Amino acid sequence: MELPIDYPTLRMIWWGLLGVLLIAFALTDGFDMGVGALLPFVARTDEERRMVINTVGATWEGNQVWFITGGASIFAAWPLVYGVSFSGFYLAIFLVLVAMILRPVGFKYRSKRPEPRWRSAWDWALFTGSFVPVLVFGVAVGNVLQGAPFKLDGDLRASYHGAFFGLFTPFTLVCGLLSVAMLVLHGAAWLGVKAEDGSVVQDRARRFGTGAGIASLLLFLVGGLLAMRLGFRIEGAFDPAGPSNPLRTTTVAAPGAWFDNFGRHPWMLVAPVLGFGGALLALLGLWRRSAALAFGGSSASAAGIVATVGLSMFPFILPSTIDAHSSLTVWNASSSPSTLFIMLLVVIVLLPVVLLYTAWVFKVLWGRTSTAALKTDPALY
């Protein structure tokens, strides 16, 4: 059966959808994790910490669905990418999952007992469950940008030739710290929206958010300068409608290649401009005590930074540093045309439902979390 959409277009659509899901994860679960990373520092009494926890307590589970959806889309649309990355980065992913398991347990168990030691332990568990995944996600993105040491055999079976501690290089650590700074800024901006107005928690969040915003700007700049030594290019002709077989593609390492797309398509510069400009707007919002400006700016910055990575690498998704015929791209690592088309139909039907439901949830649950409500509302953590 001839499909109404050609293979290259389907591949492009799913590459774009993957970017949308990753940005949605950064924007929604990002402020949850940013708040969790700030918890021990912006809130010092039990009442303050309960208030901070409940600024995300009603929505964090729904926000985490974007993380699951992103992983599922990689599995369904880019099976080779899923197989190589989830096996090669196995220990890092395991570390993320262990840390993330602490989050639901921390939310549910923290207030079950009144002892300060008990509650403090779960507060630090929530911090760990927020800080560690954010750091590792950034390190993982750094490894994608610099390439991973894997190789495909004739049957497209992947073998990974790296080690866990090899994931942590100066460049990938800069990416990890940028991820932390970006989402701490986002979390601080969220506390400006949701925490009790005029509270000392908001004042502390502004201070930490200001530091995180400045760090975001500097780390994004440093990361860009370091990325000038990185990059890959496809050598020779390739067929965007060809079969998904990386062995048919030849790639070469080419320092500076990650900046090629910005020269060929100047409109792509919107992404890094958003990354820098959004952070500046967030800092301005924090300084002027404008919650809307701060949160809008931090959202724009997070979206811009994530988009910068995807646009700079296109059409690469996961390049190989040890084999010229194993790099995974948009054109050689996707599922079949029929699979992509059927999944696209599902997305067209279900994604609007998810977006409408999410918008409705935020509308119903909108409003600031007050310390007075902690004493009267039994539904709060």
Mean pLDDT across the chain, nearest whole number? 91
163: region left, alpha or beta (phi > 0 left; psi from -120 to 50 alpha): beta
- Reported as a single tens digit per residue, the pLDDT across 39-65 is 999 998 888 899 999 888 888 888 888
Residue 71 pLDDT exceeds 90: no
**Stretch 266-293: mean pLDDT:** 95
Residue 376 pLDDT exceeds 90: no
% of the chain exceeding 90 in pLDDT:
67
The two tokens of residue 114 are 């009144």
Per DSSP, what are the bridge partners of residue 152?
Answer: 158
Nearest to 126 by CA among 146, 145, 141, 109: 109
The pLDDT confidence band at residue 1, using thresholds 50, 70 and 90, is low
Among 59-63, 140-144, 271-275, whose mean pLDDT is lowest?
Answer: 59-63
% of the chain exceeding 70 in pLDDT:
99
The pLDDT confidence band at residue 378, using thresholds 50, 70 and 90, is low
The pLDDT confidence band at residue 379, using thresholds 50, 70 and 90, is low
The pLDDT confidence band at residue 294, using thresholds 50, 70 and 90, is very high
- Reported as a single tens digit per residue, the pLDDT across 79-96 is 999 999 988 888 999 999
Q: Give the distance from CA 108 to its chain's centroid.
A: 24
Give the number of C-alpha atoms closer than 13 A to the C-alpha of residue 352, restricted to the C-beta side: 5
Exposure b/e, 44-54, CB count within 10 A at least 16 = b = eebebbbbbbb
pTM of the model: 0.93
Task: Give dist(CA 107, CA 119) in Å, integer.
Answer: 10
- Reported as a single tens digit per residue, the pLDDT across 209-246 is 999 999 999 999 999 999 999 999 999 888 888 889 99
SS3 (DSSP) at 317: strand
CA dihedral 192→194→195→196, nearest 10 degrees, is 110
